[in-house]
């Protein structure tokens, strides 16, 4: 089964035809004009079902001391992968989005974190991908966060997957 991609949307269901780069640039300009200091966190999560795996990637725009909002993208993929490969697929999805928007964030002086839905406790299955995920994210030059600090993936993306 080939992955099928949907458009970016908001939590309220509004969909966008624009790429995430334009959505983020417009959001930064609007929010900074309103006087907000921003940080952006990118994360992904997945859920295995009988016939497919559902993925969600979120870009969370945090306004310091004033809440935030997020852009969401859902994808559907094959189930024939193991837990480590699935965790690394999530990380890859997050890194691709982070890489796409990083120049915009640098231009507007906005911090970026990439969150991985991977547990730092070896008792959990997702831990098998921790070192690989951390190496990949840090190697790309991004700030890395794992559970319990990875709210973009383990809370935000988890709610919309």
Residue written as token pair 């966190």 = 41
What average pLDDT is seen over the chain?
94
Neighbours of 149 (CB within 10 A): 13
Q: Where are the domains of the chain?
A: 4-160
This prediction has a pTM of: 0.93
Residue written as token pair 């600090």 = 149
Q: Write out residues in the chain with pLDDT < 50, as ranges.
A: 1-4
| Strand duo 68-77 + 53-63: pairing | antiparallel
The token pair that represents 134 in the structure block: 């951390």
Handedness of CA 143, 149, 155, 158 (dihedral sign): positive
The rounded distance, in Å, linking the Cα atoms of 134 and 22 is: 28
pLDDT (0 to 100) of residue 2: 46
């Amino acid at each position: 089964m080939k992955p099928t991609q949907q458009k970016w949307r908001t939590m309220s269901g509004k969909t966008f035809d624009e790429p995430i780069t334009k959505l983020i640039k417009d959001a930064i300009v609007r929010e900074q004009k309103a006087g907000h200091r921003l940080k952006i966190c990118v994360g992904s999560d997945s859920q295995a079902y009988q016939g497919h795996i559902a993925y969600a990637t979120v870009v969370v725009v945090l306004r310091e001391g004033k809440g935030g909002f997020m852009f969401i993208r859902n994808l559907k993929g094959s189930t024939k992968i193991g837990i480590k490969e699935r965790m690394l697929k999530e990380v890859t999805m997050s890194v691709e989005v982070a890489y796409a928007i990083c120049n915009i964030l640098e231009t507007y002086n906005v911090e970026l974190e990439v969150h991985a839905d991977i547990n730092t406790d070896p008792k959990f299955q997702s831990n098998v991908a921790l070192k690989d995920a951390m190496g990949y994210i840090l190697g790309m030059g991004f700030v890395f966060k794992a559970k319990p600090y990875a709210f973009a993936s383990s809370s935000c993306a988890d709610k919309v997957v």
